[in-house]
A and B are shown apart, each in its own frame.
Chain A
Amino acid sequence: GQSLEQPSEVTAVEGAIVQINCTYQTSGFYGLSWYQQHDGGAPTFLSYNALDGLEETGRFSSFLSRSDSYGYLLLQELQMKDSASYFCAVFSGGYNKLIFGAGTRLAVHP
């Protein structure tokens, strides 16, 4: 089977740094993606890691360790607009389909 574990909630203040972890168990792993979803909106793509290491895109970075079946999303210089749910997702299986974790709700306070 497949499973992804991530914290259900994280709280931080504006300007801070927050890390959202994701561990996964899956067969035929191809890569780890991260998505952001605001209430009432559709998920939007943030990053993708197929190889070990850190990928940086502006204030957001994502890390993957394939040997540890682990990744994280790092959000820096937090802003109020970063309050949203963040989902890790893995491409897996014979048809390389995308399976989502349960999501982490991030609340950014002044």
Chain B
Amino acid sequence: EADIYQTPRYLVIGTGKKITLECSQTMGHDKMYWYQQDPGMELHLIHYSYGVNSTEKGDLSSESTVSRIRTEHFPLTLESARPSHTSQYLCASETGLGTGELFFGEGSRLTVL
């Protein structure tokens, strides 16, 4: 059973609001990821981290930012939400030991009105 948690699961907000999507894992994994996925579509990597204080942007340009101050915590922030940000955001972690397995959270489904 994967111990990775995302909050909120669902969020509806107005344009221009600042939001933070939380992601926490209790497995001590160094590598963490944020993916963006529209319904029935592919997963786009938007941010990843390979350890504390180390973050990189993914292949999909995103207006969001991330931080990694603690191993277990990898929050994603949108300073000013827009309707184009409406999507599902999936957080994942990986041991980094070459098993090829990512553990995903249940996702945060964001709707911006």
Contact = CB atoms under 8 A, between A and B. Distances in A.
Contacts of B40: 39, 85, 105
Contact of A48 (B48, B90, B92, B99): B99
A1 to B, nearest CB: 9
Interface string A66-110: 000000000000000000010100010001111111110100000
Contacts of A101: 42
Contacts of B52: none
B22 interface: no
Contact of A100 (B35, B94, B103): B35
Interface stretch (B61-69, B70-78, B104-112): B104-112
Contacts of B96: 96
Contacts of B41: 102-103
